[in-house]
Amino acid sequence: MKRHGILNSSISKVLADLGHTDRIAIADAGLPIPAGTVKIDLALKEGVPGFIEVVQVVQEEMCVEKVTTAEEMVSNPAVHRKMKEMFTDIGMDERSHEAFKQELADVKAVIRTGEMTPYANCILHAGVIF
């Protein structure tokens, strides 16, 4: 059994398998996930676990080079503000929600949370630690 870090074996495996520029998504409970895309479903009930909580835990173990969100995230000010704070050093690349959803077909996995607020979704691009 692991002592520290992410205990979810599916998330640990996906993160360990990432190479430079590979991408994973973290999503609210309502984001449509394309057929054939790996889904790691953490949703237990409304709001549990929350989007920001999951992003924070993943960020602790993943070297993130770039973050992609939907432009519409600004309509969810609490989530948008927290994401800006968490990624001040690299910023966020924003695109329309429709364009964001199309990019999900190319991610290694989508981690589904219990988040029930709009546009609480991101794609994390893997960097390198050297």
Which residues define the annotated binding site for substrate? 28, 97, 119-121
pLDDT at 91 over 90: no
Spell out the CATH class of 20-126. alpha beta
Which residues define the annotated binding site? 28, 97, 119-121
Strands 122-126 and 64-70: what pairing? antiparallel
Q: Tell me the pTM.
A: 0.96
Assess contact for 26 and 58: CB atoms under 8 A. yes
80 included as an active-site residue: no
pLDDT digits (tens, 9 = 90+) for 36-45: 999 999 999 9
Tell me which H or E stretch contains 111.
strand 110-112
Distance CA 19, CA 33 (A): 22
pLDDT digits (tens, 9 = 90+) for 7-20: 999 999 999 999 99
